[in-house]
Structure formats: C-alpha cells, structure tokens
Structure 1
C-alpha cells in the first residue's frame, strides 16, 4: 500500500468482500464447467480489454477515474431521461426548485457522475459519525452511553454550557487525536521514558484525504450511501403514512378537527410557554430516547404483544378523532353559487348615423370609451357566439341559460364608466356618446381650426344633416349590454 493510501482517512472497521481477478492456474485444477459443458473464466486481460473499450482510444490504458466516470455515465444514461424538465413552463403548480427561482446549473450526465464520485469519496466522515451514534445509542458500550447522559444532564441543567460544548468537542475529538497521531503513546511492554511527549514527533501528521476511486473505502461509502437512502425512504414513507391522511383534508371533518386542535394549542402555548419547565422537559426527553435504544427495551417494543397494543391505541385515538369530528364539525355539502358576466358588443360606423348596430363579439370586458384597450386602439377580445362562452376553470353552469342584466345603470356606476348613454328600459343597451365637434373661431372671421382631419368634416356634415331632418343623434360607434349566469364549483366526485 502506498504512503498516500496509508495516510488517508480509513472510515470502516468491517471488511468488505473483494473479488480478485487472476489468470487461470493449472495447479488449482480444471476450470468449472457450465451446464452445456463449455468452460468460461474471466481473465485479467479480458477485463482490461472491456474497460479499455469504454474509452475513446481503444487499446490505450485509462486511469481508474476515467473508467469509473464512464461507468457511472453509462449507468445514469440508461435510467435518466434526456429531456430537461426544469424549464417546463406549462406546469400548473409552482416548483420552488425550478431555475426560475434559483439560478443553478442544469442537469448533465457527466457533471452528475463526476459530482457523485467526488461526493462518495468524501462522505465517509458522515458515515463514521453515523456509526458512532448508532453504537452510542444502542448501548454497545454502556460506559460511553452513561457518560453521554451525564454530559447531557449538565447541559440541560445549565444551558449556558452549549457555548462551551462545540469548543470542547473540537479539543477532545479533533486536536487530541491529531496530537496522539504525531506523538503515539508508548507500548505497554516498553518503559515510558523512551517515548517522551515533549520530544520530537514520531509520526507524520494525520491528514484527511478523499477515498481513492475503486478502492475498498470508496465501495464501502457506496454501500453505506445505499443503506442511508433506504433508511430515509422508510422513514419518509412512515411519516407520510401517518401525517398525510390527517392533514391533506381527504377527510375534511377529521382534518378540520385536527386543525382546530392545533390552532387552540398554538394559542395556548403562545400565552403560557414561558411557564413550562423546558430544562426538565428536554432532560426527560433525552433520557427517554436514550433508554429506548437499550437492547432490552427494543426487545420489549418489538414483541408481538407490544405491537398489538400500539395498533389498538392508534386505532382508538383515530376513532376518537373521527367521532369528535362527526359530532362537532358540520361541512357544507352543497356548493355556493357564484355569478359570472359577459358583455355583448355591437358596432356601427360613425358616418352611418341612421344604420343599425351589427353584432360583433361577446367579451369579458365592456370595452368602455376610456378603457386602456380602447385608448390603445386594440380590438375587443372574446368569442362571436354565445354558445362558445365557457365557465371558468374548475366551475360549471348551474343555470340553464344566460339572463340579461336589467340594472344596467348599477354596473355602469360601479365601473365608473363615463361618456355613455344608459337605457333604463327596453334592451338595456349602454351606448357610446358622440360629441359634436364645434368649429373654432379665429379672430371673429368664422374660420375653421387648422389641423382638422377630413373625417371630422364628414362627421359634422352627418350631424348637420341629422339636425336638419329633426332627428338629433349623439350615439357613438359601440354599444354593449351585460348578461349574467350562475356557476358552481366542480367537486371531486363530479370530475
């Protein structure tokens, strides 16, 4: 083993099975045969050829990092899609992990494989901490667990020790082992005077290096990472199986009852939290969790009688909440109706003062004279037929047909629409007003104002003819009226 590997941070205590690939040896007997009688063996040369074939240059040996990079890339390319779902703009639910909210690099198979190898080579220290925590809380060495309880007791009694705890941990768990690595203690069979602590260091300083790729520690990290993913999945599924049915309002009465209980408890704690003995609570909680990890307690908890008792208590508590929700919570079963509107727009050119208005469109806005779209010169948006008007998304019609709004003056006043004429009888049209363009005087000579368009002259001529025929008209080119119809929410059962 090289010096670099010997100084690296070895983070495992248990061996891992190793497959050795060697050339066939005649002294060891014949090679095992398959069922069809043919002999197969995996030689070192064949394995080398397989690994070299993954590279760009066939026949040229590659480094272990390059080979592992290609192996991970090939593996991920088989199971991961090539489409980038991070730029999906048609999603109905906001994804806070999208690049629209946080600017992060896009997904890439080479980057994924490289980052996984780097992460796996450096994650060993976390698994060492995990293994030591498991040994501590499972009472593998009772003296260590009791020592932890003593320290935890001091911290709970005097919480100011939390400021000292990180520094003390750095001294005893990082610097002291590093010093002992350079000044190792003397063997028991030799006198202590031969190993003075004040003398020169007897070993090199311990360094923490990533586990070399394709080494034992590298594959042990992969093993522990695999087990951690399984543990996280089990805990995640267990928590969701308990909390989701209670909080996702699939049973609205049960979730409403739980919501009220949490609300009242939050209000009560907001008032009385300063009266609670938090030191005793944390002390009792720590001792309880530590004692639950004892093998004797674990055997009691995993027994059939205990599991049956827990299931019965869980069933009783759920039944209590269900009965409480049925007796105290009343939910509205009928959807509350709402009213939607549509405006029927008709148009007539200004120069046709005696012509009829022609139907144009059914629009969600009244297209008032001073509306932003009207000022900008945009055409009204909508559908030309009544049958094409659809209810809002998630709603359905509860009325059979549209009803004309007879209170046209009210919706005009609510929207502060000006420059219109309102019919309070008849068809309830709200028509634009066309104001006559007066001629401006210029020094008393009766000259027309300069800069007037030819269209203005035609409008004045049309109005003049109307006045001469004793049929005054001030109606503009657009008119509209409001139609309403009831809608109701579409329930899950209806969909």
Structure 2
C-alpha cells in the first residue's frame, strides 16, 4: 500500500509519527504556561488520527483484491465494517487509553491463568488432587455443574472476603483460618484498578506481552500442522484425511449411544492432568524420543503410499456453454436492410433493463473479440455455433413483443406503433460455445 500525504500538515504529522518531533521548548515557551502545549498536543493528535484514518481507508478497499477468493474476502470485510459501524474508529489516543485501562484491570485473569497452570503442573499436589476429586464428582454426577458457579462465589469470593473483614488472631502454628468473633476488625477488600507504573501494572504488561507471543507461536504451530491436511493444496492427501474423518464421524455417531461418556471423561481428565506431573513428563518425553520419533517418518511414508495408491484424482474439467447475442439494427424502414451492430451478452429486448432505461447496448464489434468468463477458457475443439432453436431461449427469458423467424433464426422486435405485428428496430440471434474451468495455475491475471 502506498499513501501520499495530500497536504503539508499531513506530511508533518507523518514525519512526527515516524521520526518524532524535532522541536525543543525554550525557557520562554515554558513560561507561557501549558495551555498552548496542550492545544498543540491536541491538534497534533487530531492530525495523527486523521492521517491514520486515511491510511486505513486507503488500505481497506485493496484487501482481497488479489486471488480467486477476493469476493469472499471483500464480503467478509464489508460484514466486519457493518458490524463495527457503531464502534469508535481507530485512534492512537483511544487505543493507548484503552490499553492502559485494560492493563490496570487484567491482573485477575492472569492470576487465574497461573493458578490453573500450577494445578496442571502439580506445583502443590494437594491442590491438584483436590481439583481432580471435584472433576471426578462432576463427571459422575453432571448435575453438580449447576452448583459449581454458586460454590465458586461462596468459597472463592465471599468466604475470603469475610475472613478479610474478621481476621483470625495471629498464631505461630499453621491452622485453618477461623474468623474472629465480634465486629469487623479490618476494612473490606475492594477490587480496584492497579495504579499506573506500579509493580502490578508492569507485571500485567509483561504478561500481556508474553501472552501475545504464546498466542502467535500457538497459532503458527496449529496452522502449520493442520493447513496441509485440510486446505486441499494436496488434493489426494486432503481427500484421504476427509475420508478418514468422515468414517470416524459415522462410526462415533453409531456408537455414541452405547459409549460410557462419564467414564470416558473421567479417565481422560485424570490422564491429561497426570501427564502434567514432572515425573510423567520425563517418561513421556523419553518414550516419545525412543519409540515414536523413529517411527513417525515411516508411518507418514506408509500413509502417503496408501494415498498415492488408493486416492485417484482424474477428474475432467467442468464444461459449460456460454452464449452471446448478435444484434443488428434496421437501416431502412422501407426495405429489409440491417446493419451489423455488435455482439452483446444481453438480447437487448424491449423489456430488458438497458432498453427500458434508454441505454445503448454494450458489447464488442466482432465475434472473435468475445472472451470467456473469468476463470474459464474455451475448449480447443469448440467454435461458435448458432442456436437453431430460438423459440427455446425466447421462452426461457420470457421475451415479449417479439417475432421469431424459424428459418433464419432471427428474433425481431415488434413495432410499437404497428398492431399488425410489423417488425421493429432491432433483431438478434444467439450463438453458443463450450468452455471449461481453468486450473488454478493457469488463471489469467
């Protein structure tokens, strides 16, 4: 994308964004107060927003313009723009402010994330076993799921808040925190956004940074692993994967009523969490390097050989017929003389939109100039052939006030001022030719 600033002010704003301002305030400027500086900053932010809006406006129409899927990409972009019509436009100050507000409040999400990670990694075996016990009760008695949100609020939020208000007396021995009796002894804990540039604020920034990196790595790994089997770039391989998944889906659909799902979920959950134990991770890693890695390439080669042997893709290209209409216009109303006009994709009948709007017909002068539709090509052994059954395509298009010449295959207009069926100003006949789909590597640019 290339963007040319349309004014000196936009050029200055773009320079400030890329290289930073080069103006240094003097003592006199500082003595004038901060009002002018604030106005200058506001004006500069406004110019920056305008510039970025123009950058996005210039970029959006070009998205999806290259490739066969451009129409789908443009439709998706149009849908996203429609969904965002009530949302604020992109702005650097708004983005910075929203990021600061999010960063001050997202700490609770990362604390929950790290708590789940500690449970899965067996940092404290008692916590992990307790979580597995709860999971086992949920698998055996699914109705407990309706109680879990209430239990989480009572035990995870309200009980710690009450203990915070009624702290137990200090004790040198570890014991279960029994709240003190009597009136509250401490202030109620409130969830507040952390102050900017505090330690929690910077830790949240670090967590957001690392989460973005984890997401991009996971996304690239998943796309790299599942792209080849599912995007039909290698049609034989993807077809084999499709057949395997289809058979597996049908088999599971048939066996689903007799599968003990509670037991399956119970065993699967215990197995997944058990794999997070340090000793289990070492065993799995050693077993993978010893038994699985040497055989992965061999199994892949066997599957590829099976694909090459049993999956045969020898499909003929899709073939259809395209049509063009030869239009001629009456030269002399007294004699039957007609001038060759053009070849058009529309019959230009009396009820066609272009004819009703009094627009001239659109097309090419000679038949050799007619091109195949985008994504198609004329077959090598085909030629333009006249349609010998004009009554069929006249009936299909519901043409009115026409006169069909069955011998010459012309379809004439009926004169508007002649009730006896006199011929009008235009006549047309239909030509057809076969064409077939172009392979992806042969698409015209």
State the TM-score, normalized to the length of structure 2. Answer: 0.78
Deviations 1:199-240 (A, max 9, x none): 121111111111111111111101011111111112111111
Alignment partner of 2:440: what SS? coil
User: Residue 403 of structure 1 aligns with which residue?
Assistant: 385
User: Residue 474 of structure 1 aligns with which residue?
Assistant: 422
Q: How far apart are residue 165 of structure 1 and its match?
A: 1.2
Alignment partner of 2:194: what SS? coil
User: Residue 484 of structure 1 aligns with which residue?
Assistant: 432
Q: Aligned runs of 1:137-176 on 2, under 5 Å?
A: 137-176=120-159
User: Residue 203 of structure 2 aligns with which residue?
Assistant: 220
Residues in 2 aligned to 1:480 and 1:486: alpha-carbon distance in whole angstroms: 20
* Stretches of structure 1 lacking an aligned partner (at least 5 in a row): 1-49, 63-68, 439-471
Q: Aligned runs of 1:298-447 on 2, under 5 Å?
A: 298-303=281-286, 306-307=288-289, 309-348=291-330, 352-354=333-335, 356-399=337-380, 401-426=383-408, 428-434=409-415, 437=418
Alignment partner of 2:82: what SS? coil
User: Residue 4 of structure 2 aligns with which residue?
Assistant: none
Higher relative CO (Cα under 8 Å, sequence separation at least 6) belongs to 1
Match of 1:297 among 256, 259, 280: 280
Residues in 2 aligned to 1:106 and 1:89: alpha-carbon distance in whole angstroms: 19
User: Residue 213 of structure 2 aligns with which residue?
Assistant: 230
Task: Check whether the contact 2:348–2:355 (CA below 8 A) recurs between aligned residues.
Answer: yes
Residues in 2 aligned to 1:52 and 1:320: alpha-carbon distance in whole angstroms: 73
User: Residue 114 of structure 2 aligns with which residue?
Assistant: 131
Match of 2:190 among 207, 215, 226: 207
CA distance 1:320–1:291, shift in 2 (3 Å): same
Q: How far apart are residue 361 of structure 1 and its match?
A: 2.3
Alignment partner of 1:100: what SS? helix
Deviations 1:382-404 (A, max 9, x none): 23343442221111222464333
Residues in 2 aligned to 1:229 and 1:242: alpha-carbon distance in whole angstroms: 20
Task: Check whether the contact 1:257–1:321 (CA below 8 A) recurs between aligned residues.
Answer: no
User: Residue 76 of structure 2 aligns with which residue?
Assistant: 94
Q: How far apart are residue 313 of structure 1 and its match?
A: 4.7
* Stretches of structure 2 lacking an aligned partner (at least 5 in a row): 1-22, 36-41, 66-74
Q: Which has the larger radius of gyration?
A: 1
Residues in 2 aligned to 1:429 and 1:335: alpha-carbon distance in whole angstroms: 33
User: Residue 56 of structure 2 aligns with which residue?
Assistant: 83
Residues in 1 aligned to 2:156 and 2:294: alpha-carbon distance in whole angstroms: 45
- Higher helix proportion, which one? 2
Q: How far apart are residue 133 of structure 1 and its match?
A: 1.1
CA distance 1:203–1:84, shift in 2 (3 Å): farther
CA distance 1:87–1:174, shift in 2 (3 Å): same
Aligned residues: CA RMSD = 3.7
